[in-house]
Amino acid sequence: MSPALLHGIDRAAFAVALAGRLRHAGVPAGLTDVDDFVRALAASPPDSMSTLYWTARISLVRRHSDLAKFDRVFTAVFADPPPLLPPSRSAPPAEGHDDVYVPVPADTDDTGPGGGLPWATLPPAVAEATEADTALRLPERRPSALAGLADRPFDELDAAQVTMLGDALRAAVAGWPTRRTRRHAVGSAGPRIALRPTIARARRTGWEPVEIVRERPVRRPRRVVLLCDVSESMRAQATAYLHLMRAFAVVADAEVFAFATRLTRLTVVLRHTSAAEAVAQASAAVTDRYGGTRIATNLRALLTSHHADAVRGAVVVIGSDGWDSDPPDELATVMARLRRRAYRIVWLNPRAGAPGFAPRAAGMSAALPYCDRLLPAGTFQDLLVAARQLQSVTCTDGLKWPTLTPAPRIIA
């Protein structure tokens, strides 16, 4: 072994070539590592293969998991190297390796830049590529969990997927809009002058109003009242509608009711911190679920109860397919009364999104003239769109939506 192992060899070219070989093997040897290796070779020229090994290893390897790759590259670069590590730590050279490295002496003894290259690489023999290697492989793109459930009916969803629907509904109504009330509060950017606070402060300055106090209107969330049908015809949508009611009860402080043959208030039950526990308690509280439907009777019960004040000025949302055992004339009468008291009436029908839908049910046909919106609510995506539509309806202060034109009335 010569006293100077890299005598007459361009250290920078040697370091760059070795780093490139390491990167090809998967060792992340960057420019900073190459610069450290070049400086280490200049500060302490290696006099043995072992010294060169440890200089390169300390400078170019940063992770313990890359030691085996470094050993394989170093062994492949230098033919017949002496034992550098114990047999248990040193990896043997790969069999059948295509790269052959031939040492090339420098043309001059100058060790500065351009003094010579450490080796030349013979072109590797390229084997015939198999059909599997040349086949075009594209990653399989799958929709997200929410997007995959967008158009699936509720009866095809399991409990975990319905719970995911509830979380998405809560996020959809998180920014529930507010309305301007008749009350005012002190605010520096208010458009009006607050007379009483201004006069009270003028007493300190000889009744001269030196400091003007302003006030602004107080804004509160628009009140929401939800009534959802849990009869036999709504069995597939009942659990999903309970999650919809819970989202509004928790986020928008809504009053929520379930009805089949009688009206059941679920506001307190659905505000439970656990969604699964809230839905379970609500299902147990509604004793008449999966029975008949009496929409007109339940709406009249709401308007005559002590919860009738919650309807005044509120957005009333009714989730039902419109099948009603009460006479259509009674439903039309109670809907007219509800229309005079509520701010908006929105009807969610799970069958409204079907192609060629027409409100042929007697109850739906009788209630439609008094609704501001008729929205489909039969899938995951329909409920999310309905939540956004409800926010747009709530934001329109002073704007009256045109009533829907009902289809020809057919008494079923």
Nearest Cα to Cα of residue 124 among 148, 100, 157? 100
* pLDDT at res. 292: 87
Span 362-401, pLDDT tens digits: 899 999 999 999 999 888 888 888 888 887 766 544 333 3
What residues form DSSP beta bridges with 224? 315
* pLDDT at res. 109: 44
Least confident of 142-156, 311-325, 379-393: 142-156
CATH of domain 163-175+222-395: 3.40.50.410
**CA–CA distance from 235 to each of 154, 189, 240 (Å)?**
10, 52, 10
What residues form DSSP beta bridges with 115? none
The pTM for the full model equals: 0.55
Domain ranges of the chain: 11-122, 163-175+222-395, 182-220
Q: Cβ(133)–Cβ(211) under 8 Å? A: no
SS3 (DSSP) at 259:
strand
The separation between CA 306 and the C-alpha centre of its own chain, rounded to angstroms, equals 40
CA separation for the pair 253, 246 (Å, rounded)? 10
Establish how many alpha carbons lie within 13 A of residue 24's alpha carbon, considering only the half-sphere containing its beta carbon: 11
* pLDDT at res. 332: 94
In percent, how much of the chain has pLDDT > 90? 23
Nearest Cα to Cα of residue 299 among 280, 278, 318, 322? 318
CA separation for the pair 271, 379 (Å, rounded)? 24
Phi, psi of 110 (to 5 degrees): -70, 130
Residues present in the chain in total: 412
CA separation for the pair 375, 352 (Å, rounded)? 7
SS3 (DSSP) at 374:
strand
Span 179-203, pLDDT tens digits: 788 888 888 888 889 889 899 999 9
CB-based contacts of 367, cutoff 8 Å, min separation 6? 295, 318, 322, 331, 332, 335, 347
Average pLDDT on 313-338 reads 93
Q: Is the pLDDT confidence value at 153 over 80?
A: no
